[in-house]
Structure 1
Amino acid sequence: MSDLLRTGRAMAVATVVSRITGFVRTLVLATALGLGTRLLDAYTAANITPNTIYELVMGGAVASVVVPLLVRQASRPGREQEADLYAQRLLSLVVYGLGAVVIVAVVAAPLIVSATVSGFPPPQRNLAVLFTRFFMPQILFYGVSATLAAVLNARGRLTAPMWAPVANNLVVIATGLAFVLVGGAGRVESLTTAQTLLLSIGTSAGVAAQMAVLAVAGRRAGFRPRLRADPRGIGVRRIAAMAGWTVASVAAAQAVFLVCTRLVSHAGEGMLAVYGNASTIFQLPYGVIAVTVITGVLPRMSRAAGRRDLAGVTSDLSQGLRLTAVALAPVAAALVVLGPALTTLMFAHGRTSPEAARLTGLTLAAYGPALVPFAGYQIMLRAFYALGDTRTPALISVGVSAVTAAAALGTARLTGGPRLPVALAACTVVAYTAGLLVTAVLLRRRLGRVDGHRLLDTHLRSLAAATAAGLVAAVVARTVDGSLGTATADAALVVVAASAAGGALYVLVGRMLGVAELRTLTSALRPG
């Protein structure tokens, strides 16, 4: 536990800075382009497209295949040069493959936009196509960044990859501020060619900066990111076979994303950005806490699996799940209780309407109960990856995606308009809770045990403490709301007062209930 916490503390600091700058990036873009406007919707639709294609082509394979393979190569004593050559060939394969994908995607941009956001009117659709073509090189940048990060992780350099997104965020923040300074407005019709180029080039330059940071970190770690003319010799067929199941699961997840995006694009002006920003904020605590745990635990589980030490895999998995649940439970309660106040404080200024900010908060509140199940589900999937099994988590992911898609389509028949983003967010609660339970059962069969009694005990105690904290936070929020007279000031007071009261009570009740992981987390946060 102590090793994981020592490593996790450094990663958490880097991740917090990364997520804070990412949060500022979201605020700057919402202020500059206008939450609830067609301009931000077009920009959002285009900017998520390269992420979607990258995840479909390669993203899932990084966690399921690349990291475990690189860890095993790097752990062979006396074979450092072979490990370097293996990583260089893998990087070359990524560059050549994703380079071809970028070319195809640029040509097919109109078809991609029509498939993802069919509800856009022609001017907005044309702008989305133009943005999409400029953003497509990000696919290559993301792929190279992920491969370099995997090389660093395999060498025990877990913190450097956490800092790299900061460069991306800072460049995009500068781009958004420059857009405001040159007189950019939140309207598709008033966008000039120069302003379009500023947004397009500046956004992709951010991902390129992230890649450059990782390249420098790789060289400092002793790895030269050199391209090889012939990338063979790394077991391409084996990698393809292992990644095949992952591609299937990612394809299912992207199909769900496509379904939800198409539904939201028909829900009204600005609804895509509302739904997307709520999802981004929901991912923030997951990224700071769960991704930090996953990054630290996956190499450890991979090494234990390589030694056929199933007890070691179970121990690392249990630690990760318990720490994550205890840390995220009060955050989930805060999202449910304070969602509208949080987003009013974040977005209700600039070109954003108060109604759009509040709707984003209601959507965020609907996401809240999914936070702990989602994080636990993702961590348990990594245990299968560490064991070299990509088939089982892929089948589970396909099932979760099917449940989500069915719930979204059924919900869309019952509701629409501004209520639809809230309803779609609620669908994730059912899907990820089911996924968590199914994954736990299957993983227990594979490992023999998953420390179930201890996990259930910790989850129930932290849930009780979070429920008490949430109720107190709700009472405080209702008491102080409206006392300052302006929406932003009221929201700030609500967030500060309710968070302080709820957080203090969570720690108090958690200690009274004997949540040992809470003491471990608070001690890890102390300096020294």
Structure 2
Amino acid sequence: MSLLRSSLLVGLGSIASRILGFARDILFAQALGAGPVADAFLAAFRFPNLVRRIVGEGGLNPALVPALSRLEQDDSARMAGDVVSAFALALLGLTALVEIGAGLLALFLAPGLHDDGMLALVALYTRLAFPMVFGVTLASILAAFLNMRGRFTATAFAPLAVNGGLILALVVLEIGFTLPMNEKAAWLAVASSLAGLLQLALVAAALRRSETRIVRFRRPQWSPALKNLLLSGFPVLVASGAVQLFFLVGAQVASFWPSGVSWLYYADRVVQLPLGLMAAVGASVLLPELALRLQAGETWAVVRAQNKALEVALLLALPASAALFILAESMTAILFERGAFLVSDARGTARVLMGLSLGLPFATAAKVLSQTLFARGSLRATIVAAGIGMLATLGAAPLLGWPYGPPGIALGISLACMAHAAAILWWLARFGLWSPDRPFFDRLGRIAFSTLAMSAGLLAARSLAPPAGAAGLAAFCFGGLLLYALAAWLTGAITRDDWASIAKKA
């Protein structure tokens, strides 16, 4: 399969998964609203969904692929079998622990939901939804092995099973049954676990159809190579999902406010759509050149490639942040305000979204810059940077939440994203891998000016006629995009050479 076709398959699968996930969350809002049951379900769903998002986007690949690609085919197949067996046993043990200790885990996930039996609901939904982690994690590992052999179709589209299954369950529950909201949430938790196992079955079927033995099972051999591979996977996962961990901590704090968990979840889902896509664009520009330059010891080329990738990421992140802030109320009302999701919920979610939008550029920059630490093998640095972000969330979210409620918690998460990015920059500077030059700051100024021009246009249009309906919101989004593209072209924030460079790397 050609590189272009493989890239298109993976890209289409990623985009389709995000669109389905967004549709799923719109249906969540319609079916569950943002009340106590929704808080309990979303608190329980956040942890398995966090794991699914990290491993589903290749969070384990930096640990698995390099180690196995250096081995001969037979040795690689045997090592792959050992990895799958070791992870399967570990995941079964973890699932058993969660099923037994779901009450304690519920207290950890949502300590504020201690009234009216809500913690018992969180524990129930956790028990029902957590088996999804077993399915999606093993599916991600098998997908990495398939990708090493140039098999991309099943791995690109199998992750759609989780969101597609949940959408089907939501439609069936809404149309075919009249259930109390707590029972409806329980069936959704069951559906998420079944969908995760379906994803595993699809990837395993693709593995069996492979012409060559990609995975060879045997009694697991606890070799030093396997031990190092498994130990390196944990810090890679923590660093890959650092921003998601900040939201997990923020949800713990938000559980002390009515509807806080729900508002934070829905606002997070709006922010994650551009964040994931922009991080993928930045990484695709950075990584191919970065790996080669680090091996050659060309530090100056690493810095140059890193600056270029950061420019591309901020070229997209800054206007997205501004647009989300300006259109937050219209977005949440048009996307979520229906069924059990009330007008007051839409307004609360909008204020949370405004707070989160301020952290989008920092979260995007951290995702791009952390790739250099991954490539350098600086796992300790990535863990420390993620830990600083989590501590910042623990400090800022309660401090700002006390006077401002959930919007203050969102602002605390944005500050944590800034602290995380600053910590990564500190490590890069310590390693001699951060040296922004004059062209970088010049480009950043042009991007900022273009963003201001777009923001002025959106504010003026909103004052004349606020977006009405999905068509109106789409018109505002596309109009803002066109205005920003024009301003970026006129100011030189993006040039013909940039397009040529991106196309060449693609």
What's the counterpart of residue 496 of structure 1?
Answer: 474
Residue identity opposite 1:336 in structure 2: F
Partner-residue secondary structure (3-state), 1:96:
helix
Q: 1:32 to 1:456 in 2, by over 3 A?
A: same
Pairwise mapping of residues 268-279 of structure 1 onto structure 2 (< 5 A)?
268=258, 270-279=259-268
Give the drift of 1:398: 1.2
Pairwise mapping of residues 57-206 of structure 1 onto structure 2 (< 5 A)?
63=59, 66-74=61-69, 79-120=72-113, 121-155=115-149, 161-185=155-179, 187-188=181-182, 191=183, 195=184, 198-206=187-195
Q: 1:497 to 1:343 in 2, by over 3 A?
A: same
Pairwise mapping of residues 296-315 of structure 1 onto structure 2 (< 5 A)?
297-298=286-287, 301-302=290-291, 304-306=293-295, 308=297, 310=299, 313-314=302-303
Deviates more, 1:496-505 or 1:464-473: 496-505
What's the counterpart of residue 50 of structure 1?
Answer: 48
1:466 aligns with 2:465: no
What's the counterpart of residue 28 of structure 2?
Answer: 29
Q: Distance in 2 between matches of 1:9 and 1:456?
A: 33
Pairwise mapping of residues 193-232 of structure 1 onto structure 2 (< 5 A)?
195=184, 198-219=187-208, 222=212, 224-232=214-222
Deviates more, 1:341-350 or 1:122-131: 122-131
Pairwise mapping of residues 218-367 of structure 1 onto structure 2 (< 5 A)?
218-219=207-208, 222=212, 224-233=214-223, 235-239=225-229, 241-243=231-233, 257=247, 259-268=249-258, 270-291=259-280, 293-294=282-283, 297-298=286-287, 301-302=290-291, 304-306=293-295, 308=297, 310=299, 313-314=302-303, 316-367=305-356
Q: List, as ranges, runs of 4+ consecutive aligned residues in structure 1 with deviation greater than 6 Å.
A: 3-7, 247-255, 522-525
Q: Distance in 1 between matches of 2:197 and 2:323?
A: 35
Q: 1:331 to 1:259 in 2, by over 3 A?
A: closer
Q: 1:468 to 1:519 in 2, by over 3 A?
A: farther
Deviates more, 1:333-342 or 1:139-148: 139-148
Give the drift of 1:87: 2.1
| 8 Å CA contact 1:326, 1:517 repeated in 2 | no
Residue identity opposite 1:411 in structure 2: L
What's the counterpart of residue 392 of structure 1?
Answer: 381
Matched residue pairs, number?
A: 501
Q: Distance in 2 between matches of 1:480 and 1:523?
A: 39
Give the drift of 1:279: 0.8
Residue identity opposite 1:107 in structure 2: I
Give the drift of 1:174: 0.2
What's the counterpart of residue 511 of structure 1?
Answer: 489
Pairwise mapping of residues 364-513 of structure 1 onto structure 2 (< 5 A)?
364-415=353-404, 420-449=405-434, 452-481=437-466, 490-492=468-470, 494-513=472-491
Residue identity opposite 2:17 in structure 1: S
Q: Distance in 2 between matches of 1:234 and 1:297?
A: 31
Residue identity opposite 1:288 in structure 2: L
- Listed one character per residue, the Cα deviations across residues 148-180 of structure 1 (whole Å, up to 9, x for unaligned) are 233345456667644332221111100111111
Q: Distance in 2 between matches of 1:44 and 1:458?
A: 40
Q: Distance in 1 between matches of 2:206 and 2:288?
A: 19
Partner-residue secondary structure (3-state), 1:515:
coil
Deviates more, 1:98-107 or 1:198-207: 198-207
What's the counterpart of residue 13 of structure 2?
Answer: 14
| 8 Å CA contact 2:369, 2:424 repeated in 1 | yes
Q: Distance in 1 between matches of 2:337 and 2:230?
A: 47
Q: Distance in 1 between matches of 2:163 and 2:57?
A: 25
- Listed one character per residue, the Cα deviations across residues 467-519 of structure 1 (whole Å, up to 9, x for unaligned) are 210121111112112xxxxxxx7243652343233211101110111123687
| 8 Å CA contact 1:68, 1:385 repeated in 2 | no
Give the drift of 1:9: 5.4
State TM-score, norm by structure 1: 0.83
| 8 Å CA contact 1:404, 1:427 repeated in 2 | yes
Q: 1:325 to 1:61 in 2, by over 3 A?
A: closer
| 8 Å CA contact 2:132, 2:195 repeated in 1 | no
Q: 1:154 to 1:369 in 2, by over 3 A?
A: farther
Q: 1:347 to 1:52 in 2, by over 3 A?
A: closer
Q: Percent identity?
A: 22
Q: Distance in 2 between matches of 1:231 and 1:295?
A: 35
| 8 Å CA contact 2:330, 2:473 repeated in 1 | yes
- Listed one character per residue, the Cα deviations across residues 37-64 of structure 1 (whole Å, up to 9, x for unaligned) are 2222222112123345789xx969974x
Q: Distance in 1 between matches of 2:5 and 2:432?
A: 27
| 8 Å CA contact 1:249, 1:394 repeated in 2 | yes
| 8 Å CA contact 1:18, 1:162 repeated in 2 | no
| 8 Å CA contact 2:45, 2:189 repeated in 1 | no
Q: How large is the RMSD of aligned CA atoms in angstroms? A: 3.5
Q: Distance in 1 between matches of 2:27 and 2:70?
A: 43
Q: 1:507 to 1:60 in 2, by over 3 A?
A: closer
| 8 Å CA contact 1:322, 1:517 repeated in 2 | no
| 8 Å CA contact 2:303, 2:433 repeated in 1 | no
Q: 1:263 to 1:433 in 2, by over 3 A?
A: closer
Give the drift of 1:212: 3.0
Q: 1:143 to 1:60 in 2, by over 3 A?
A: closer
- Listed one character per residue, the Cα deviations across residues 410-447 of structure 1 (whole Å, up to 9, x for unaligned) are 113323xxxx2211111233222233234224214425
| 8 Å CA contact 2:79, 2:226 repeated in 1 | no
Q: 1:254 to 1:198 in 2, by over 3 A?
A: closer
Q: Distance in 1 between matches of 2:271 and 2:126?
A: 25
Name stretches of at least 5 consecutive residues in structure 1 with no aligned partner: 482-488
Q: Distance in 1 between matches of 2:200 and 2:19?
A: 19
Q: 1:470 to 1:355 in 2, by over 3 A?
A: same
Q: Distance in 2 between matches of 1:145 and 1:453?
A: 45
Q: 1:21 to 1:115 in 2, by over 3 A?
A: same
Q: 1:113 to 1:437 in 2, by over 3 A?
A: closer
